Structure 1
Amino acid sequence: MNRGQLGEDLAASYLAAHGYTIVARNFRTRYGEIDIIACKDGFVAFVEVKLRKNARFGLPREAVTHAKQQKLILAAEAWLAVHPDAGQPRFDVVEILLAGREAPSSIRHLENAFDA
């Protein structure tokens, strides 16, 4: 399993364990991809997953640049055009640091990580 898939699987399991319903994974548009779309408590969360072996070169969330945020916003708008009643949209980041090859040392869910 590649690291991207591992990170998304860990994040989806974490979100589900915390009461989220996963409604889509790897939603692709011409603007980019949304790793996970999940719903909870009237919100639809567009989740970017970032996994790193360690924080030596910065925290995983720091890789969600302004340019990446703009692509996520456009992709979310495309999804919302088809699902207008999904809930109040927000953008989350799940950052994962690995302890070993496939075991996370930490998973942190940052709700409303940036504004549209």
Structure 2
Amino acid sequence: MKRGEWGEQAARAYLQKLGWRVVETNFRTRFGEIDIIAQCGQYIIFVEVKTRKDDRFAAAREHVTFTKQQKILAAAETWLQRYPSGLQPRFDVIEVYGEEDGEVPRRVNLLENAFGGA
């Protein structure tokens, strides 16, 4: 399993432990991809997962560039048009640190409301 897939799997498990309901994974549009779409309370949450071995050179969240954020926002708009909801959209980032050959990540960080709304 590749590191990114492993990280997304770890992120889904983490969110489910928090009581979130994963609605969709790897939602692709011509604008870009959303790793995880989940629901928690009044929110529909679009989650970008960044997986890294460690944060020695930079935090994983630093790889969610402005350009990447714009792609996620556009993809989220597409999703919301297809699946209208009264829920408040939110954009989170999950950092997963560890080795894909390990059973569990060393660390998972959830950054709520990490960037602008739709």
Q: Normalising by structure 2, report the TM-score.
A: 0.94
Structure 2, unaligned runs of 5 or more: none
Alignment correspondent of 1:9: 9
Aligned residues: 116
* 2:51 is equivalent to residue 43 of structure 1: no
**Structure 1 letter corresponding to 2:56:** R
Describe the superposition over 1:85-115 as per-residue Cα deviations: whole angstroms up to 9, x where unpaired.
1510010000011167323111011110011
CA–CA separation in structure 1 for the residues paired with 2:86 and 2:45 = 10
Is the 8 Å Cα contact of residues 3 and 100 (structure 2) preserved in structure 1? no
Alignment correspondent of 2:56: 56
Describe the superposition over 1:4-52 as per-residue Cα deviations: whole angstroms up to 9, x where unpaired.
1101000000000001000000000000000000001110000000010
CA–CA separation in structure 1 for the residues paired with 2:72 and 2:15 = 19
Aligned pairs for 1:24-103 (under 5 A) are 24-85=24-85, 87-98=87-98, 101-102=101-102, 103=104
CA–CA separation in structure 1 for the residues paired with 2:100 and 2:27 = 28
Change (3 A) 1:86 1:20: farther
CA–CA separation in structure 1 for the residues paired with 2:91 and 2:100 = 28
Is the 8 Å Cα contact of residues 44 and 86 (structure 1) preserved in structure 2? no
CA–CA separation in structure 1 for the residues paired with 2:78 and 2:54 = 34
The structure with the largest strand share of the pair is: 1
Alignment correspondent of 1:110: 111
RMSD: 1.2
Describe the superposition over 1:65-93 as per-residue Cα deviations: whole angstroms up to 9, x where unpaired.
00000000000000000111151001000
